[in-house]
Structure formats: structure tokens, C-alpha cells
Amino acid sequence: MTALARPLPAPALPGADRSGLRLLTLAHTFVDLNQGVLPAMIPFIVTQRHLSLAVAATLVLASNLLGSLVQLLFGHLSDRHTTTWIIPAGLVVASAGTALVGLAPTLPLMLAGAMVMGFAVAAFHPEGSRFSYYFAGRKRSSGMSFFTVGGYVGLAIGPVAATPLILAFGLRGVALLVIPAWIVAIMLLRALPGFNEVRRTKTRAHRERPGRNDWRGFSVMSLVVALRSTTFLAAITFLPVFVMRVVHAAPFMQSFALFALLAGGAGGTIIGGLLGDRIDRRHIVSISLALTAVFGAMIAYTGGLAIFPLTVVLSACFGISLGLSAGVLVVLGQEYLPKRIGVASGVTLGLANTIGGIAAPAFGHIGDVFGLIAVFVTIAIFAVLALAGSLAMPRPRTMASRPSESTTALAESPR
């Protein structure tokens, strides 16, 4: 091939912005903290509001169903318009929705609060994911995993922060969590001019990059994300009740098991991100889901032994396994649709998660009829189905032409 016939190289992406990524990750922490608070409230809602598990689990459905559909819409809009203001606004409104769940005296108002929270969380994620992609530079897997860890940390802190407040003040105590969330929102407002400038610069750079959208590959990956999301949401929703009813631990101990699962997820996300910059990301997804199935089955099998420390350890291993694929799947979605990053993020983080939210009441029904051990057996089965789907994911077209990320200078690493 002659020099004239060679394709032009892709323009280099600007380097990583560590400070921007840190602030965005902090915001992600306080946004997803709301999603961690809701499962921790379920056992108290069941006892204090006298609801069944299936009915209480509709709060998870309410927070995911509307929010996930809206997330796809916001992803579409963010591909065409600058919507940076949504990042601080989503944080403020999400915390207000969670407060309403705790303060509401009736189920309809609780559902309204859950829907408001889910709407705001959904609005945050496409734009937040876009900027984490921008701020990561060439280390996309590491950068996205760093951002994703913020979500895991929020989910992990949520029950630990909410449970003492509920024990001290009742369900209304969760309203106090709006204070730190709004402080971070003020920090974001001050940073918005810089975010807008980054958006303009990076948009010009990405328009010049080669690549085609692979909708078939993205559809297969979305199915995997949906099955994985069902596994994740069912685990964090029903683990607190599992610990109390099957393992027979004290009510305040359930938050530690959930913290172990989510903290493990954060650690697994970091490991998965580092590996994703070095090996085929699809292999990481398959390994992640295989291990998730194993540890989900072990939680179910050993639950009847009523050994709380063992349940905590297995929960942490379950979280590590599931976390390996968290940030990697978001990057894969963006590589399948390099021209539609907002839509990719909206589907990966939102629409596919709708199935997980819809499945929550079904898992609650399984728990009511067959017991909570059966819930975790079903969780393991869903992980196996996700594993089967991951083996069918094609190689993203952009992987063949991208520069080697493992040789990128350490200065671009967001760590």
C-alpha cells in the first residue's frame, strides 16, 4: 500500500483530566448513594408500613422503570445539545426524592418519591458518563472504572449511612442525607464553565475520529447488561432481608453485608478497569459473570448455616466478581456506538437496567412463596444466562484500530 493509500490516523485524544474526573466521581457517589439507601429501607418499610416483600420491592421498580426510559431520552439529547447543568440538578433532585420516600406516610407518595429519585439519577448518568469518557483520555477502561467506583461507593455508603439514621429517627431520618448532596451540587455549579469548555473541545476531536456504529453487537451487549443488571439489583435489594431472615443476624447487621457486597464491587470495578486497558474486554465480562454465578449459588447454599461472617465474605466475593464487568461494559457500549456516546450510555446505564427494575417484584414474589434462598438461586441462574450472552458478543470494530492503551503514559492514568 502506498503512502497516499494509507488511511489517516485517528487524531490523538487529549490527556486525562484528573481533577475533573475526581469531582465527577464524587458527584456519582452522592447520586448513587440514593440507590443504596432504598434497599436498606426495604426491611424497615416492610415492618413499619406493614407491606409484603413484593409490594415493598415495587419501590425499586418505580425508581428504575421511569428513570431508565428517561435516561435513554437524556442520552439522545446529550448527543445533540450541551446539557451539563443536568449533573448538579440530578444530584439535588435525587436526594429530594429519597427524602420524600422516607417522609411519605402513604405508599403512593413513597412511590412518587422513588420515581423522582429514579428520574434524577437517570438524568445524571448519560452526561456524567460522557464526561468521564472525556476526562479519561486514552485510558478509557480505567477512567470509566474510576467513575463507576464512585457509584459503587455511593451504593455502599447508602445503607451504612441510612440505617443508623432510620434506627434513630425512623424512616424520616433519611431526609438528612440531602445536606452533603447539596454541598457537592454547589461544587459542581462552580465547575460548570470548565465542563462546558471541555465539551466543546472534545466534541470537535471526536467528530474527526473514524469508526462506525455496530448496532448488532450493541444489541447483544445490551441483553448481557440487562441480565447482569437483574442479578445486581436483585442481590442488593434482597441481601438485607436475606441476612435478617435466613442468616438470623440482628437488623443493624444487614447494612454491613450490603456494604461488603458493594465495597467488593468497587474493588472489582478497579481491577476490571485496569485489565480492560490490557486484554480483550469481552473476556473480562465472561469471567466476571462466571464467578458471579458461583458466588451467588454459594450464598444460597450456605445461608441456612446462619454464619454471618461467612455470608459477609461471600457477599464481598460476589460483589468483586460482578464489579469486574461494571466499567468495562460501559466502555464496550461506547466502542460499539462510537458516534452515539450519549445513546450508548443511556442504554447501557438505563434502558437495559429497566429489566432489572421490572424483575424486582418478581424476585420478591419468589421470596414470599419459596423463600429467600430461592431468590439467590434465581440470581445465580440469571448470571449464567448473562454469561451465555457474553460469549456471543462480537469484537467492537474500534478495537482493531485503537492505539495500544497499555502503553499509554502513566501520566494519563486517572488513578
Could you tell me the CATH number of the domain that includes residue 319? 1.20.1250.20
Predicted TM-score of the model (pTM): 0.74
Distances (CA, A) of 360 to 233, 318, 355, 375: 7, 19, 9, 10
Q: Please tell me the distance from the alpha carbon of residue 150 to that of residue 81, in angstroms, as a whole number.
A: 25
Q: How confident is the model at residue 403, as a pLDDT?
A: 42
Q: Please tell me the distance from the alpha carbon of residue 342 to that of residue 347, in angstroms, as a whole number.
A: 9
Contact 348, 225 (CB under 8 A): yes
Residue 411 domain flag = no
Q: Please tell me the distance from the alpha carbon of residue 321 to that of residue 64, in angstroms, as a whole number.
A: 23
Question: Helix (H) and strand (E) counts for the chain?
Answer: 14, 0
Residue 60 domain flag = yes
Cell of 136: 479519561
Number of domains the chain is built from: 1
Residue 10 domain flag = no
Handedness of CA 202, 14, 185, 173 (dihedral sign): positive
* CB neighbour list of residue 409: distance below 8 Å, 6 or more residues apart: none
Q: What is the CB neighbour count within 10 angstroms for residue 392?
A: 12
Cell of 93: 433532585
Domain that holds residue 84: 18-403
Q: How confident is the model at residue 91, as a pLDDT?
A: 93
- Closest by CA to 281, choosing from 384, 385, 399, is 399
Q: What is the mean pLDDT of the chain?
A: 82
Residue 12 domain flag = no
In this prediction, the residues of the chain whose per-residue pLDDT falls under 50 are: 1-14, 208, 400-415
**String of b and e for 207-240 (b: at least 16 CB within 10 Å)?**
eeeebeebeebbebbbbbbbbbbbbbbbbbbbbb
Cell of 215: 448496532
- DSSP secondary-structure letter at 171? G
Residue 413 domain flag = no
Contact 71, 123 (CB under 8 A): yes
Distances (CA, A) of 389 to 235, 239, 326, 330, 384: 20, 25, 16, 16, 9
Q: Coil, strand, or helix at residue 216?
A: helix
Q: How confident is the model at residue 302, as a pLDDT?
A: 92
Q: Please tell me the distance from the alpha carbon of residue 135 to that of residue 147, in angstroms, as a whole number.
A: 10
Q: How confident is the model at residue 12, as a pLDDT?
A: 38
Q: How confident is the model at residue 49, as a pLDDT?
A: 81
Q: How confident is the model at residue 406, as a pLDDT?
A: 38
